[in-house]
Amino acid sequence: MPRSYRNLKLRYVFPKGTAMRSWTFDSIPDQSGRLVVVTGANSGIGYVTARELAHRGAHVVLACRSAERGRAALARLRAETPGARAELRPLNLASLESIRAFAAGWDHDRLDLLVNNAGVAMVPFARTADGFESHIGVNHLGTFALTGLLLPALASAPAARVVTVSSEGQRFARFDLARFDRDRLGTDRGYSAPFAYVASKRANLYFAAELHRRAAAAGLPLRSVAVAPGLTRTNVLTGGANAARGPLYRSATALLVRLAFRPTAEGAKTSLYAATADDAPGGGYVAPDGFLELRGEPTTGRRPRALTDTVTARRLWELSEELTGVSLALPAARPR
Residues 132 and 57: their CA atoms lie apart, in Å, by 38
Contact 121, 236 (CB under 8 A): yes
> What is the C-alpha to C-alpha distance for residues 37 and 32, in angstroms, rounded to an integer?
14
Helix (H) or strand (E) holding 267: helix 264-267
Question: Which H or E run includes 273?
Answer: helix 269-276
Evaluate whether 88 touches 62 at the Cβ level (below 8 Å): yes
Please tell me the distance from the alpha carbon of residue 228 to that of residue 296, in angstroms, as a whole number: 11
Q: Point out the catalytic residue in the list 47, 197, 206, 285.
A: 197
* Cβ atoms 38, 61 nearer than 8 A: yes
Q: Give the span between the Cα atoms of 193 and 134, in whole angstroms.
A: 10
Amino acid at 124: P
Q: Is 47 a catalytic residue?
A: no
Residue type, 57: G
Q: What secondary structure letter does DSSP report for 239?
A: S
One-letter identity of residue 159: A
For the four alpha carbons of 176, 177, 183 and 186, in that order, the dihedral sign comes to positive
The Cα–Cα gap between 121 and 229 comes to 13
DSSP secondary structure, 180-211, as one string: GSTTTTT--TT--HHHHHHHHHHHHHHHHHHH
Instruction: List, by residue number, the catalytic residues.
Output: 197
